[in-house]
Structure formats: C-alpha cells, structure tokens
C-alpha cells in the first residue's frame, strides 16, 4: 500500500460522510475504504443511490471473513473497494439494494459459510451437491448447505419447470440450467455451474504470479488475454511494478485482436442460431482468417502466453499484422454487410432478448450487452490505464437492448478495434517485463475483454506467493442479464439466439 493521502472528492467524500469515517487507503489500483459491518448497509445504500456500479462482491478468509465490494465510479474514473470484516455468520442483505450481488452472495455462502441476514433462500452455484466438509473451499463450510432453491419467480397461470443440460447441443460448452415455462414462453431461467467449476481461485493460492497466469488464461480461454491482463495488473498494482510502455502497447494489440475474433465468432453463432448456414460459413471464414492472424502475430491462435506479470512474453510480428489483418477484417465486414441486408436474419434479431437500460444498470452488466442497452460503460475509457490512456477508443452504444443492438455494437467495436490496432502498432510495441518487487500487497486489476470488464483482485504474501486471487471474468457479471433477456416475451427457439448475442462462456462463470 502506498502512503498517498488523497483529498476525497465526489462519491468517495460523500460515502465517508455517510458512514462517519475518514479512513481511506489509496493504492493497489483502487481506493479502499474500511467499512464497519454495522455501517455496511448504509454504505451500500449510499453508493447504489449515488449511481456507483457494483462490479464485484467477494470474500477473503482470515481471522475473520472479510467482505469486499468493488464499485466502479465510472464517471469519476475510479474503482472504490469497501472492506468489511464479518464477525458472525451474517451480514446485511445486499442484493435487496444491489440485485447485482445475488449470485455472489450465493457463492460466498457456499465457500465461506457467511450469508446475508433475512433468511432468503440462496442457490447452490459452484459446489456440487455431494461436496462434503472436506471439499476444497476458499473458507469454511456453511452450517447448512445451500438449498436447491432458485430465486422465487412470479407466474401468471400454470407453469412447469424442468432442468436442461448439462450436455446440450453439439459443439457448445456443458451448462445445466433450470427452465420455468408456461408452455412456450419463458418465465424464468437459472444456472448451476458446478459441472464446469474447476476451482481456479482455490488453485491459485500459494502460487507465484508466473504459474498463476498460466491457469488464469485458461479460466476463460476465449478471453485469455483479458483475464491474464487483469490478474497481471492486479499483481503489478499490489507490488508496485510498472510494465514498460512498449509491453503495454503489445497487450493492447493482443486484447483488440481478441475482441475481433470473438466478435466474428459471435456473428457465426448468431447465424447458426437463426439457421442461416451461408451467413455462418461467411462468418467462419472471417473467424478462421483472424485466428490465423493471431497465430502469425503472436504465435497462438487464441493468444495464450502473451501476457506475463510485469509485461509481455512475446512481442507482435508487425509485418504479419500488416499483411493479415486487413484481409481478415475485410471478410468480417463483408459478411456483416451481407447479413445486415438479409431481412430474414434481421427479423429474428429485432426485439428479441431485450435487456432494458434499467435492468442493465440494476444488474451491473458490462460489455457489449450493457452498451447495447444504453449503458455506456467501457473500462478502457472509464478506468483508463496505459495503453488506452493515450489511445482512447470510441464507445459503441445503442439504445434498444435487443439482439440486433448487441450485434450492431459488436460490429462497431470491431471497426474501432482495427483502428486501435493500427494506432498501437505505430506507437512502438515490444516485449519485456519489469521485475516484480518483493514484499506483499494487494491490488485490483482490470481489462476490457470482448464480453466486458474482466476484474481481478490479488493479495500476495512477503514471499510473493498468492494468498487470495479473485477472478471475475465478465461472464460472471452478465449471466444474470441473460436470465432477464430470456424472460422478456421470448420463446424457446430464441434462447440460442440470445445466448449467441451475449457471447458469454460457462467456463468464465464457473471458473
């Protein structure tokens, strides 16, 4: 932690007044405010009321369980972390004030045994039903196992409920969800992720940053660069390391290439979900070309192994970038233009899977999903760090919140990514990593993955080993929005279309 003494302003100042405290720590990528348990509810009310975005909620074990809430003060270009020690087994119910917190409250209960007061039923999330007291947890087993109860839903008329999965269509990840339907209309949809829970956060404990990044990349492989960058940045913030500017330019190029190929893949999935095989083939040609560009520029089709703690392991092959990118993006653009001119395709997208602006804000959604619902959140602009500080992207925003809006946002972002890559490549990217200082610390890191803001919080001991790593890929945040989108006047055949437009992963949610 640094010795900076900031003059609290804006939301931070009003928060401190609301909870009656002056204690602030600045450093590690965020401003941290210790909040006594008795003041937590007040603090959350205040922050939610001030329009702060709840970006994450997680716990750390120790003498007591410490609850940390990460808030995005996006208009003030700051992350704020409230830190609360929980003495007994309960804390104030937060998801009543910030519905974004419900999935995390469930996760905290099964890992740490502490729950929100009020007795509201909590879902089982990541730990399988047979997980006994010896099953690896980040904390302790709860006194009572979480009920097999989903969040209550309101049903007008008859409805029945059936589980779906985990083995689903061919070529997609396993996912187990409960579907509540009145026949054709979807009333509710809730996920269980234990079939893909590999315990990444548990595995990272005791590891050094270099080993941790190998696993972090594979938490959500389709966001390998983004998740690795968020963890590397958290480590760098914690230890006070500054990656060389050339390495940060390289990270930016890799991240934008990651965005490009993911958006092409989402486009292919959208075509597949609407039954437009010929469009799917065109999108897949673009996707394959972009993956080959990744391989030529960074040595791996999915950009594994680029980010390392302190910098990057590989620099871009700029000649290959110049040769390959225009053709790859050209394919993507031409396929997109043809799709936008195909009415049968567009009809399936309009007014499907609507997420309203209010829902997006309330659930703290991020990424293209939020931006398509009119919430202009983008961590490259809201929380600028190099290289985006010097190369800010234009944020693509639409207002209708349907599948079509998300598709259009992705296309706008793809164009912007190509422009950014050109700028970053001209600014002198390179390889190299700054050495990591010794000593411990804790820090917050982030990167704008193709799906939205990926966050990580890491604490290290004096030996440089991780004592707690919190991974929060964007998929964790956005699946709740998928529930809402599926629920809004949609039918079964719309589910794959909505799923493609969200382009989340189960791996990133389950970790």
Partner 1 sequence: MSGGSRARAVAASPAARAPEGDVLAARLRQRVASQFGRSLHIRTLDTGSCAVCEQEIRLLAAPHYDLHRLGFFFTPAPRHADLLLVTGPMIRAFDVAARKTYEAMPGPKLVVATGACALGGVYPADAFVYGAVGEILPVDVWIPGCPPSPLALLQGLLVAVDRLAEKVSGLTFTAGGDAEPPAREAER
Partner 2 sequence: MPLWFARGLRRGIVTTRYPARPDRSAAGLPTPPAFRAGVIDRRLADRLVAVCPSRALHRDGGVLVFDVGRCTACGRCQEAAPWAVTPSGEFELAGTSPAQFVKQIGLVQEVGQ
Candidates 285, 346, 395, 434: give the one binding partner 2 (CB under 8 A): 285
Question: Could you give the CA distance from residue 283 to residue 291 in angstroms, rounded to a whole number?
Answer: 12
The residue range among 74-82, 143-151, 285-293, 308-316 that interacts with partner 1, by the rule CB under 8 A, is: 285-293
Candidates 1, 50, 295, 346: give the one binding partner 2 (CB under 8 A): 295
In DSSP terms, which residues pair with 307 in a beta bridge?
312
CA dihedral over 118, 124, 127, 130, signed as positive or negative: positive
Q: Which is nearer to partner 1, 207 or 362 (CB)?
A: 207
Candidates 82, 84, 501, 505: give the one binding partner 1 (CB under 8 A): 505
Question: Could you give the CA distance from residue 167 to residue 137 in angstroms, rounded to a whole number?
Answer: 26
Q: Which helix (H) or strand (E) holds 34?
A: strand 30-34
Candidates 339, 418, 447, 507: give the one binding partner 1 (CB under 8 A): 507
Residue 338 interacting entry, from partner 1, partner 2, none, C-beta within 5 to 8 Å by type: partner 2
Tokens encoding 448: 């704008």
Q: In the chain, what are the helix, strand and coil shares in percent, each to the nearest 5? A: 45, 15, 40
What's the closest the beta carbon of residue 152 comes to partner 2, in angstroms? Answer: 44
Q: Does 419 bind partner 2 (CB under 8 A)?
A: no
Candidates 94, 108, 175, 282: give the one binding partner 2 (CB under 8 A): 282
Number of residues engaging partner 1 in binding (CB under 8 A): 43
Question: Do residues 41 and 50 lie in contact, with contact meaning Cβ atoms separated by under 8 Å?
Answer: no
Q: Please give the DSSP secondary-structure letter assigned to residue 309.
A: T
For Cα atoms 242, 460, 100, give the angle at the middle one, nearest 5 degrees. 90
Q: Does 136 bind partner 1 (CB under 8 A)?
A: yes
Q: Does 310 bind partner 2 (CB under 8 A)?
A: no
Interaction pattern, residues 413-442, with partner 1; x per rule: CB under 8 A: ------------------------------
DSSP secondary structure, 82-134, as one string: EEEEE-SSEE---TTT-GGGHHHHHHHHHHHS-EETT-------SS-TT--TT
Candidates 86, 265, 325, 455: give the one binding partner 1 (CB under 8 A): 265
Max distance between CA atoms of the chain, in angstroms, equals 63
How does 45-54 read in b/e, with b if 16+ C-beta sit within 10 Å? Answer: bbbbebebbb
Q: Does 287 bind partner 1 (CB under 8 A)?
A: yes
The residue range among 24-32, 193-201, 344-352, 369-377 that interacts with partner 1, by the rule CB under 8 A, is: 193-201
Q: Does 211 bind partner 2 (CB under 8 A)?
A: yes
How does 462-486 read in b/e, with b if 16+ C-beta sit within 10 Å? Answer: eebbbbbbbbbbbbbbbbbbbbbbb
Q: Does 342 bind partner 2 (CB under 8 A)?
A: yes
Candidates 100, 215, 268, 307: give the one binding partner 2 (CB under 8 A): 215
Would you call 2 exposed, middle or buried from its count of C-beta atoms within 10 A (0-12, 13-18, 19+)? Answer: exposed
Residue 279 interacting entry, from partner 2, partner 1, none, C-beta within 5 to 8 Å by type: partner 2
Looking at residues 156 to 185 of the shown chain, list those that interact with partner 1 (rule: CB under 8 A): 166-167, 169-174
The residue range among 19-27, 284-292, 461-469, 470-478 that interacts with partner 2, by the rule CB under 8 A, is: 284-292
Please report, as ranges, the residues that interact with partner 2 according to CB under 8 A.
211, 214-215, 278-279, 281-282, 285, 288, 292, 295-296, 299-301, 304-305, 313, 334, 338, 341-342
Please report, as ranges, the residues that interact with partner 1 according to CB under 8 A.
128, 130, 134-136, 166-167, 169-174, 194-199, 202-203, 215, 218-222, 224, 265, 268, 281, 284-285, 287-288, 291, 301-302, 304, 505-508
């Amino acid at each position: 932690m640094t010795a900076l003494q900031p003059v609290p302003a804006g939301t931070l100042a009003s928060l401190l007044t609301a909870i009656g405290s002056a204690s602030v720590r600045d450093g590690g990528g965020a401003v941290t405010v210790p909040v006594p348990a008795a003041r937590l509810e007040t603090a959350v009310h205040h922050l939610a009321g001030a329009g702060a975005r709840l970006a994450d909620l997680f716990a750390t074990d120790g003498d007591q369980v410490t609850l940390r809430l990460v808030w995005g003060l996006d208009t003030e270009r700051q992350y704020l972390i409230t830190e609360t020690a929980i003495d007994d087994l309960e804390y104030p119910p937060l998801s009543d004030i910030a519905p974004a917190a419900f999935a995390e409250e469930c996760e905290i209960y099964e890992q740490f045994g502490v729950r929100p007061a009020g007795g509201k039923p909590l879902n089982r999330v990541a730990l399988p039903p047979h997980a006994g007291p010896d099953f690896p947890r980040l904390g302790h087993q709860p006194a009572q196992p979480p009920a097999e109860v989903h969040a209550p839903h309101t049903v007008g008329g008859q409805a029945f409920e059936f589980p779906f999965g985990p083995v689903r269509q061919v070529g997609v990840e396993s996912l187990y969800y409960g579907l509540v339907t009145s026949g054709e209309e979807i009333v509710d949809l809730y996920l269980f992720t234990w079939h893909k829970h590999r315990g990444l956060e548990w595995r990272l404990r005791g590891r050094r940053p270099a080993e941790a990044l190998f696993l972090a990349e594979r938490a959500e492989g389709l966001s390998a660069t983004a998740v690795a960058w968020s963890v590397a940045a958290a480590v760098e913030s914690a230890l006070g390391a500054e990656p060389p500017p050339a390495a940060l330019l390289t990270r930016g190029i890799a991240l934008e290439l990651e965005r490009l190929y993911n958006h092409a893949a989402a486009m292919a999935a959208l075509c597949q979900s609407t039954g437009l095989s010929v469009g799917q083939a065109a999108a897949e040609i673009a996707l394959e070309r972009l993956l080959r560009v990744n391989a030529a520029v960074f040595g791996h089709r999915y950009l594994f192994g680029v980010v390392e703690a302190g910098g990057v392991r590989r620099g871009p092959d700029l000649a290959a970038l110049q040769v390959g990118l225009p053709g790859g993006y050209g394919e993507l653009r031409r396929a997109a233009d043809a799709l936008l001119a195909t009415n049968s395709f567009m009809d399936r997208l309009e007014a499907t899977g609507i997420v309203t602006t209010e829902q997006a804000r309330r659930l703290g959604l991020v990424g293209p999903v939020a931006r398509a619902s009119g919430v202009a959140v983008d961590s490259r602009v809201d929380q600028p760090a190099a290289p985006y500080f010097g190369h800010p992207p234009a944020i693509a925003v639409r207002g209708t919140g349907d599948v079509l809006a998300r598709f259009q946002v992705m296309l706008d972002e793809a164009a912007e990514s190509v422009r950014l890559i050109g700028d970053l490549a001209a600014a002198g990217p390179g390889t190299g990593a700054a050495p990591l200082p010794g000593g411990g610390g804790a820090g917050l890191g982030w990167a704008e993955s193709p799906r939205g803001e990926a966050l990580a919080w890491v604490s290290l001991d004096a030996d440089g080993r991780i004592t707690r790593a919190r991974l929060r890929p964007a998929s964790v945040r956005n699946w709740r929005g998928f529930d809402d989108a599926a629920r809004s006047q949609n039918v079964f055949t719309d589910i794959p279309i909505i799923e493609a437009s969200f382009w989340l992963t189960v791996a990133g949610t389950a970790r």
